[in-house]
Amino acid sequence: MARIIDIIRARRNVVEANPAEAKRTAELAVAALLAGIGKPEWDAYVDHFPGLDAAQLARLLGTDNTAADPEMTKKRVYIVANGMCGVNSPNTQTMAFQMNSIDAGLADCDP
């Protein structure tokens, strides 16, 4: 099973190759940030990453057992905030540092 960070990297590659997809990701990210976690806009942003399983979706939506974990909350927000960069999203020098453990504790994905 692909890890969340690998799915995000795959999306980053799509964004890098396609300005229209970069714009779509950025628009979804801005809407998600303005609305906040738990709102339909946040769900729409998370849903635009293909290949996430139910546990991974719960992690990104904050509906799993990490909902109150401040470190996981930062990682979730980082994913959304980074998406609003549009065509600049591929310039994610610190993504691995910020995000690599988003999968911690998920079956078959634990880094």
Task: Name the pLDDT band for 98 (thresholds 50, 70, 90).
Answer: low
Integer Cα distance of 45 and 77 in angstroms: 11
- pTM score: 0.78
- Is residue 97's pLDDT more than 60? no
Percent over 70 (pLDDT), the chain: 80
Closest CA relative to residue 100, chosen from 85, 84, 78, 69: 78
Q: Please write the tens of the pLDDT for every residue from 27-55.
A: 999 999 999 999 999 999 999 999 999 99
